[in-house]
Structures are given as structure tokens and as C-alpha cells.
Amino acid sequence: MPRLKDEIANLKKAKEEEVQKTSKTYEDLLEKMKSEISQGQVTISELKGKLTVNMVDAVLFDSGKAEIKPEGLIVLQKVIDILKNIKDKSIRIEGHTDNDQIGGALAKKYQTNWELSAARAINVTRYLQQQGIDPLNLSAIAYGEFKPVAANDSREGKAKNRRIEIILVPKE
């Protein structure tokens, strides 16, 4: 029985250390990205050991494009400077769009919002790898319009739904 108590104590201690590490990363990101947060370009949240950096797409991409803008690279670099020190988490890059259907000439390149959100997530993932983030810790996910955080019935809501989320989660 004493061994079981020791194991439980060790597990609790490891969990506390994990939470402290996540909190430190969260605080570092808040400090580094103060100006982007104050301008409404970035939000950072921490919930149940999952840390999320949410970037509105306009800071990273021009409308209908998947190539990261030069000013977007500057914002991403701030995140990368902190992510480079994270070795014990998986990093998911999730692409999201509003529900406007893709049309015109753009539809030749991206038939639906799935393709656009995938291309954006993959380009961010590639850039993180090029900047030294271990590709074994990276994954790109496309949600298209199907995980909105706001109603798509206003310009403001649509803008919130067009985003890239960089999520740190425990390794599986």
C-alpha cells in the first residue's frame, strides 16, 4: 500500500509540474504578444492543460490567399520564439474559415473552404518547421467553416471565424 501512495504522490507532483510549465508558456506568450492582443489580432487562452493561440486570419493572410503575409511572419515569429523551447507538447495548427462560399477565379485554386483552411494551416505548419520546430511535434488540421466561434450573420462574426489556432496539447 505505501508504494501505491508514493506512486499517487509522484503522479500528482508530475501533473503540478506540467500545469506550471503550461502556465509559464502562457505568461510568456501574453508578455511577448501584448501589442497583438491589444489590437485584437491575437487571443491566448489556457484551459485544462491545453494552450491556444488564436490569430485572426487578416493578420496572417490576404483575403482568399494562403500565403503568409510578411507582417504575419513577424507575428508568427513571436510565437515561434516561445514554441522552440517546448519539447513535451504536440503543436496543432488548425485552419478555420467563415461560411462564405468560394467563388470566381479563387474556386479554381480552392474549391471549398476546406481546401483554403487546409492550405493556410499547412503553410503555417511548414513555416514553423522551417524555423526549427520539430516536425514530429507538428500537425495541420482543416476545419473549414465547420467550427465557428461566432455567428456568421455579421461581418464581425465572420472575421472571428476566419482564424488560425495554434494549440499546444499533451503528447499522446
Instruction: State CA 144 to chain mean position distance.
Output: 14
Specify the pLDDT at position 40. 84
Task: Write down the domain spans for the chain.
Answer: 2-170
Q: What is the pLDDT along the chain (172 residues), one digit of tens a residue?
A: 677 777 777 666 666 666 566 678 878 888 888 888 888 889 999 887 789 999 999 999 998 899 999 999 999 999 998 898 888 889 999 999 999 999 999 999 999 999 999 999 999 999 999 999 999 999 999 999 999 999 999 999 999 999 999 999 988 8
- Cα-Cα-Cα-Cα dihedral sign, residues 22, 28, 31, 37: negative
Q: Does domain 2-170 have CATH number 3.30.1330.60?
A: yes
Alpha-carbon gap, residue 116 to 143, rounded angstroms: 10
**β-pairing verdict for 50-56 and 42-47:** antiparallel
pTM of the model: 0.84
